[in-house]
Structure 1
Amino acid sequence: MGAEQGSRIAATVTDWLGRFEAALASGDPGRLAPLFLDDAHWRDVLALTWRIATVSGGEAVAGDLARLGRERRLRGLTIHPDRCPPRIVARAGVEVVEAMIGFETDVGRGSGIVRFRLDRGLDTPRAWTLLTALDELRGHEEATVRAAREGPVFERDMHGPNWLDRRQAARAYADRDPAVLIVGGGHAGLTIAARLGQLGVDALVVDRMARVGDNWRLRYHGLKLHNQKHSNHLPYLPFPETFPTYIPKDMVANWLELYVEALEINFWTGTAFEGGTYDDEAGCWTARLRLADGGERVMRPRHIVMATSVSGTPSLPEIPTLERFGGSVVHSSGFGSGADWRDRDVLVFGTGTSAHDIAQDLHGSGARVTMIQRSPTLVVNIEPSAQLYDGVYLGDGPSLDDRDLINASMPLALMKVAHRLLTDEVREIDRPLLDGLEKAGFRLSFGEGGTGWPLLYRTRGGGYYFNVGCSDLIAAGRIPVVQNADIEGFEGGGARLADGRLLQADLVVLATGYKGQDHMVRSLFGDAVAERAGPVWGFDLEIQELRNMWTRTGHPGLWFTAGAFSQCRNYSKYLALAIKAEELGLVGPG
C-alpha cells in the first residue's frame, strides 16, 4: 500500500472514529446505527461489559454501545499510535480496511480493531466488525507495579534478607494465604500466574506433579507440540530463536521450569487440590490442599483459578464384552512405550491425536497394531495444512501483541466463515492423503459445517489428528483400521469381528480422552457450585463465546483458563485484569 493510499485510509478511519465518539456522547442509538452495517459484529473483552461477549446485528450493536459507551465513558478514540497502522487485508474471504485503535474508559485504557468492507464502499464507511479490549487499569499498570517491586538498588544492611531470602519467604506462605489459588501448573496456570504477578496480585500455583513441567515431561516418548513455535510463546519470556519449530515435550517441560524461576512464580509441587467451599459472607474459599509430605494445608483465597484443562479422569466408554478379554487393558494416560510390545498384537481404541501417536510408536517399535475407529475423524497434514489456521501468526508483519489482538477481534460467525474457506483449501491440498485414507476404510470428518479442526478443539477438545506420519501408514495398509461397529465382541485372545475373523491382541489401549471440566468442578466443589458456575468449554451461542473461559462465571471467585499456548498467552491478560478489578473493588464478584 502506497503512502498516499495509506494517508487516505487513515483519514477515513479518523473521520469515522470522530463521528463514532460524538454519537457515543449523545447516548442515542439512532445516531450510532448508521455507523454500522446491518450484519455488523461487536466483540467486547472487559472494556465495557467486564466480560467477554459478542453482539451481532447493526441495531443490537448500536443499542448496547449507546448505553454502555456512555456508562463507561468510552472516549479518546484514535488510531493507535504504537500498533500496526491501518491497512487493507483479507478477513473471512473479504477485503477490508483494518485499523487498530486506542481509547479510554472510566477505569483504564484499551485497544481495539475496527474493520470496513471495501465492497461496501468507503465514501460513507460503516463498520463491519469492532473489537474493544481492556489493556490496563489506570493507576495499576504493569510497568508501575514492576518498578515498585524493585525496591532499593542496594541494601543498606548487607546481612539482612536478600533476594533469595525474600523469594523463599514468599513461596512458603507461612503467615499468609494467597489472594488467588491457581490449580494446575501447566502453561495455562503459569501464564495467569505470571500476569497476576505483574499486576501485584499474590498468587500461588499448586500441582500434584513432583516437578514443574512434569505434565509434559511424563507424556509419551515422541510427543512434540503440533503447531509452530511462533504461535506458542509465553507472555514476557518468548521461546529462544534457537528452539526448533516444533518443540519436543521435554524441552517444553524444562522451559516451564525455567519460566517459574524467571518470572518469580510461587509454585508448590506435589500438592493436590482436594476441593473447596465458598463463604458468600466472607467472600473467600476454604480450600483443602494435600501436601507432598502427606500433610494438609487449608487456605482461604478470595479466588480459585482452575487451570487443569481436563479433569485428569480418563473417559472410559462402556465397551461391551471387553471384560472377557484375557490380555492387558490400559488407558492412553497409562501407556508407556511401544518398545514394551515388540512382536506383539495391540488394538488401539480411538482415532484422535493420542491414538495416532501411540499407534505410530507401537508400529515403529515392531508391534502389530490395529486402530479401532468409533467415529469419523478429521485429518490434516501437519504442514502446510494444519498451520494455515494459524495464519495470523505466519510470516513477517505485525508484532506478536498485534497478532494476538487480531486473533481476539474475530467474532465467532466470521471465524466460522474463515475456517470453512480454509478447510476447503486444505481438503484440496491434502486430497491424495484423504483419498488414501478412505480407501483404507478410514472415515473422515471435516469439522462442524466443514470448519476444520479449531472449532472441534473449542467444542470437543479433540476429534482430529495432525498427520506426522501415522496417516501415511494407515493409507499404505501398514496400520489397519477396523470400525467399532464391525466388532461383534471380545474374547480371551482378542476381538471377534462380525465376519468371524479374530483380531488377536495382547494389549488394548483406550485412547478415549478425559472427562471435561464440568466433571472436575462437580467432583471437587459439589453439585451446588457446579450449577451456580455453569457449564465450562463449548460455546454459549447467546454471547457467541466459549462458556466461562477467562471471564467471570456464575459463581463468585471461581475462574477457568485452558486452551492452546496462544489462547492462554492472550486471554490470561484479560483474566488477570478481571481479577485485579475485583480486588480493587471496581466491579463486584460474580
Structure 2
Amino acid sequence: MTQTVDRAPGEVTAQDAAQIFTGWVSDLAAAVRDGSEPALSDLFTEDATWRDFMAFPWDFHHTVGRDETVPRFLELAKEWRAADFAPSQEQAPVVGEAGINAFFDFTTSDRVDRAYVLLVPNEGRFRAVTLQTQVIGLADHPERIRHHRREGKVYGIVEGRTRWTHDRARETSFADEDPAVLVLGAGHNGLAIAARLGALDVPTLVIDKDARIGDQWRRRYASLALHSTVYGDHLPYMSLPPNWPAHTPKDKFADWIESYAKLMDVNVWNSTTFLRGRYDDETQRWSIHVRRGDGSIQELRPRHFVVAGGMFGAPRVPAIKGLETYQGIWTHSDEFQNGADFPGKKVLVVGAAVSGHELAHDLYEHGADVTMVQRGATYVVTYESYHRYWSTLFTEDMPYTPDFADQMTYSLPNVRVDELNKRLVKEAAEADRPLLDRLEAQGFKLEWGPDGTGIIGAHMSGRDAYQIDIGASELIADGRVKLRQGVELAEINGKTVTFTDGSTMDDVELIVFATGYHQFWGHLQPVLGKAAEKIDKAYGRAADGEYANTWRRSAQPGLWFGTGFIRMARFYTRFMALLIKAIEEGIEPVDPETASRPAPDGSTAT
C-alpha cells in the first residue's frame, strides 16, 4: 500500500524512499493485474505525464494528464501483457528537491523493459507526476554484453581454425553477403547505431566518404571543443576514462570515435561515397550504389538503410556581387582553421551563431581586428547558465549512471519539455542579465529561440541561431570585437565591402562566412528515387509531437534516420537497433501498414 506523507521530500531518508517506492510499485502491479482504473488513478497526480519508448507498441508515444494516461496505460498493459513489476536492483531511489526519483523493471510480451518515475507529495501521499517507460532488450535475443558476451576464444580442437584479424577482415569485406543494415555516415550517430546492431548480431556496414573516421572533426577550426561535458559524452558500451578533460577538444574527439569504431568491431568502409539508392517494395531490399576509394562502383542490397549523416550538408555561402574577384581571402567556417594565421589583419566574420562567435574569439586572441556581421538575432546564454540549467543530471558527482540519467532526461513529453525550456530560458536570462544588457547596448540583437524555447527548441526546429558564451560575447559587449547589425554584404570591390545599408568597410583582408549549412536531407533526397517521396522531413517535430521519421520507423519502410548530439545518439540508438533486430527476427513486420504482425498473445494481428 502506498505510504502516506508526513514530511517534505527533503526530509525523506533513503530508507523511507525505498519503502515508499516499493509500495507504489506493488500498488501499480496490482492495479495492472486487476485492470482497475480507480486503483491506478490513485497512483498518479492529476497533471501526470507518461512517455513511452517502444516498451509497448514499437514506436514512441506519450500522454498528458491522468485522465489520458491511466486508461491508455491499462489498455496497452493488457494488450502487451505487462508483468513482473519490481524495483530496479541496479539503481536505488534518489531523493531530490522535487521528490523521489526511482526506477523499476518489468516485462512485456517479447521485451525486457525499465521505467522511471518521479513520486511527489500529493494530497497526503506520494503519487507519480512523471512516468517514462522504455524497452531495454528483446527477451529471446539479448545483446552480446555482460553474461551474454562473446567468448573470444573457442576451446578444443577446431580444424582450419581462423584468427581474429582474419575473421574481422572477412566480416568487414562483406565479400560473400550483403549487410542487413547499411549506415551512411561514420560520425557518432552512425557508429553508435552500428555498435548497438553489432551487439545484437545484425550484420551492419558503415560507409563514409572520408579517408579516416573523425576527419569531419579534424577539418574543423583548431579552437573547437565540445560544449557538452565528459559526464554525458560517452558512446554505447564504452565510458570515457576518469582523466578525460571536461570538454573534449575536436581532434581528441575525432581520435576517440575512430578508436571506438575499432574497439567496438564496427565494420566501416572509408573513402566510400554514396551515389544513389532505390527501394524494391516486393523484395523489401535496397539497391544502393557506392564508389569505393579505388574508383570502383559497387552495389549493396541491404534490407535497411540508415541515414546518419547529421542534420547538415554542404556549407552555405551567400551570393554576393564581386565575391569572385575579392582580392583578400574568403572561407566558410567549415574550412577555417586557425586565427593565429591572421595577426594584425582586418577580418569580417559573417554570422553570429556558435561558429561565428568562436571564430571571432579565436581571431581576436591572435591579434586580428575583428568585425562581426549579425544579420538577424541570436539567442545567447553563458556557459555557466547553460550547464546550471540544462545539464543538472550530468555532473562530476551525478548520483545516476548516464544510462539512468538519459532515461530521466527524456522522461517528459515534448509539449512539457517546451514549457520547461521556456521557464529555464527566462531564469537563465535573468542570471545573465548584466552581459545581455551590455550586448544590447552595443546594438546586438537578442532572441530567445523558437517560441522562447532556447537552444533545445532551436535544435528541434533545425535552427542554429544561438551562442553559448565562452568569451566572445564579452568581447562584443566590451566593443573589442566590433559589430555590424541587421545588414548583409551587398557587394565587394577589391578589398572594400559594401553593406546593404550603404555603409562600407575598407581593407578587409579576410572574410569568414559562418553562415550555416544546407539541410543534409535536401542533398540526399534527389538520389533516393520514389523512396524519398514519402518523407516530408527528417528530424524536427512530427504531428504526434515526437521526432519526425527519426530514430523510429520512417514513412518509407527500410529507410531510417539518426541524427542529433551525442547524448541523443546514445539514448535513441537503443530503440532503433532493437526495432531493426525485431524486424530481422520476424517479431515485427518490415511494413506494419501492409503486413500482419504476431499479436502479443501469439495469434495474428493486423
Scaled by the length of structure 2, what TM-score is found? 0.89
Structure 2 equivalent of residue 89 of structure 1: 96
Structure 1 equivalent of residue 186 of structure 2: 185
Structure 2 equivalent of residue 530 of structure 1: 532
Structure 2 equivalent of residue 167 of structure 1: 168
1:482 deviates by 0.6
Structure 1 equivalent of residue 435 of structure 2: 433
Determine if the alignment matches structure 1 residue 506 to structure 2 residue 513: no
Deviation string for 1:277-320 (max 9, x for gaps)? 11111111111111011111110011111111134222344557
Determine if the alignment matches structure 1 residue 116 to structure 2 residue 119: yes
DSSP-derived class of the 1:256 partner: helix
* CA 1:49–1:319: 2 relative to 1, 3 Å: farther
Describe how 1:422-501 pairs up with structure 2 within 5 A: 422-485=424-487, 489-497=491-499, 501=503
Amino acid in the other structure paired with 1:109? V
Determine if the alignment matches structure 1 residue 217 to structure 2 residue 224: no
* CA 1:155–1:240: 2 relative to 1, 3 Å: farther
DSSP-derived class of the 1:539 partner: coil
* CA 1:53–1:195: 2 relative to 1, 3 Å: same
Structure 2 equivalent of residue 557 of structure 1: 558
C-alpha distance in 2 between matches for 1:459 and 1:499? 30
C-alpha distance in 2 between matches for 1:291 and 1:311? 23
* CA 1:482–1:155: 2 relative to 1, 3 Å: farther
Structure 2 equivalent of residue 50 of structure 1: 58
Question: Are the equivalent residues in 1 in contact too, given 2:377–2:447 (CA < 8 A)?
Answer: yes
Question: Are the equivalent residues in 2 in contact too, given 1:385–1:430 (CA < 8 A)?
Answer: no
* CA 1:257–1:61: 2 relative to 1, 3 Å: same
1:408 deviates by 2.1
DSSP-derived class of the 1:48 partner: coil
C-alpha distance in 1 between matches for 2:262 and 2:152? 19
Q: Which among 2, 11, 21 is matched to residue 29 of structure 2? A: 21
Amino acid in the other structure paired with 1:406? M
Amino acid in the other structure paired with 2:435? L
1:500 deviates by 5.1
Determine if the alignment matches structure 1 residue 381 to structure 2 residue 382: yes
Structure 1 equivalent of residue 136 of structure 2: 135
Structure 2 equivalent of residue 336 of structure 1: 337
1:405 deviates by 1.6
Structure 2 equivalent of residue 583 of structure 1: 584
Q: For structure 1, which segment, 8-17 or 354-363, has the greater mean C-alpha deviation from structure 2 after superposition?
A: 8-17
* CA 1:388–1:513: 2 relative to 1, 3 Å: same
Describe how 1:8-407 pairs up with structure 2 within 5 A: 8-25=16-33, 32-85=40-93, 87-90=94-97, 95-118=98-121, 120-123=122-125, 125-143=126-144, 147=148, 149-150=150-151, 152-154=153-155, 156=157, 160-318=161-319, 327-383=328-384, 385-386=386-387, 388-394=389-395, 395-407=397-409
* CA 1:336–1:151: 2 relative to 1, 3 Å: closer
Question: Are the equivalent residues in 1 in contact too, given 2:220–2:335 (CA < 8 A)?
Answer: no
| Aligned-pair identity (%) | 35
Amino acid in the other structure paired with 2:334? S
Q: For structure 1, which segment, 323-332 or 62-71, has the greater mean C-alpha deviation from structure 2 after superposition?
A: 323-332
1:363 deviates by 2.5
C-alpha distance in 2 between matches for 1:283 and 1:480? 57
Deviation string for 1:75-115 (max 9, x for gaps)? 12222222232x4324xxxx233321111100011101122
Q: For structure 1, which segment, 259-268 or 396-405, has the greater mean C-alpha deviation from structure 2 after superposition?
A: 396-405
Question: Are the equivalent residues in 1 in contact too, given 2:52–2:132 (CA < 8 A)?
Answer: yes
DSSP-derived class of the 1:586 partner: coil
Deviation string for 1:536-570 (max 9, x for gaps)? 11122x43222222111111111111211111111
* CA 1:447–1:295: 2 relative to 1, 3 Å: same
Structure 2 equivalent of residue 410 of structure 1: 412
1:253 deviates by 1.1
C-alpha distance in 2 between matches for 1:49 and 1:502? 60
Question: Are the equivalent residues in 1 in contact too, given 2:10–2:96 (CA < 8 A)?
Answer: no
Question: Paired residues, what number?
Answer: 581
C-alpha distance in 1 between matches for 2:537 and 2:228? 28
Deviation string for 1:29-62 (max 9, x for gaps)? 5664554433221101011121122222322223
Question: Are the equivalent residues in 1 in contact too, given 2:339–2:359 (CA < 8 A)?
Answer: yes
DSSP-derived class of the 2:580 partner: helix
DSSP-derived class of the 2:141 partner: coil
1:152 deviates by 4.1
Amino acid in the other structure paired with 2:55? A
1:197 deviates by 0.9
Greater helix content: 1
Question: Are the equivalent residues in 2 in contact too, given 1:533–1:558 (CA < 8 A)?
Answer: no
Deviation string for 1:174-232 (max 9, x for gaps)? 11111111110011111111111111111111110011111111211111111211110
* CA 1:263–1:413: 2 relative to 1, 3 Å: same
Amino acid in the other structure paired with 1:49? P
1:400 deviates by 2.0
Question: Are the equivalent residues in 2 in contact too, given 1:146–1:198 (CA < 8 A)?
Answer: no
* CA 1:466–1:186: 2 relative to 1, 3 Å: same
* CA 1:529–1:563: 2 relative to 1, 3 Å: same
Q: For structure 1, which segment, 486-495 or 222-231, has the greater mean C-alpha deviation from structure 2 after superposition?
A: 486-495
Question: Are the equivalent residues in 2 in contact too, given 1:278–1:285 (CA < 8 A)?
Answer: yes
Q: Aligned-residue CA RMSD in angstroms?
A: 2.7
* CA 1:370–1:31: 2 relative to 1, 3 Å: same
Structure 2 equivalent of residue 543 of structure 1: 544
* CA 1:84–1:375: 2 relative to 1, 3 Å: farther
* CA 1:180–1:348: 2 relative to 1, 3 Å: same
1:272 deviates by 0.9
DSSP-derived class of the 1:312 partner: strand
Q: For structure 1, which segment, 570-579 or 409-418, has the greater mean C-alpha deviation from structure 2 after superposition?
A: 409-418
Amino acid in the other structure paired with 2:96? V
Question: Are the equivalent residues in 1 in contact too, given 2:311–2:462 (CA < 8 A)?
Answer: no
C-alpha distance in 2 between matches for 1:313 and 1:498? 26
Unpaired runs of at least 5, structure 2: 1-8, 592-606
Amino acid in the other structure paired with 1:98? N
Amino acid in the other structure paired with 1:473? L
C-alpha distance in 2 between matches for 1:70 and 1:276? 41
DSSP-derived class of the 2:261 partner: helix
1:494 deviates by 3.0
C-alpha distance in 1 between matches for 2:510 and 2:526? 30
Q: Which among 513, 516, 521 is matched to residue 519 of structure 2? A: 516
Amino acid in the other structure paired with 1:574? F
Amino acid in the other structure paired with 1:524? V
DSSP-derived class of the 2:96 partner: strand
C-alpha distance in 2 between matches for 1:295 and 1:137? 39
Question: Are the equivalent residues in 2 in contact too, given 1:84–1:398 (CA < 8 A)?
Answer: no
C-alpha distance in 2 between matches for 1:336 and 1:147? 45
* CA 1:159–1:34: 2 relative to 1, 3 Å: closer
Scaled by the length of structure 1, what TM-score is found? 0.91
DSSP-derived class of the 2:136 partner: strand
1:519 deviates by 0.9
* CA 1:362–1:4: 2 relative to 1, 3 Å: closer
C-alpha distance in 2 between matches for 1:404 and 1:183? 25
Deviation string for 1:118-175 (max 9, x for gaps)? 2x2343x543221110001012111479847426444635973111111111111111
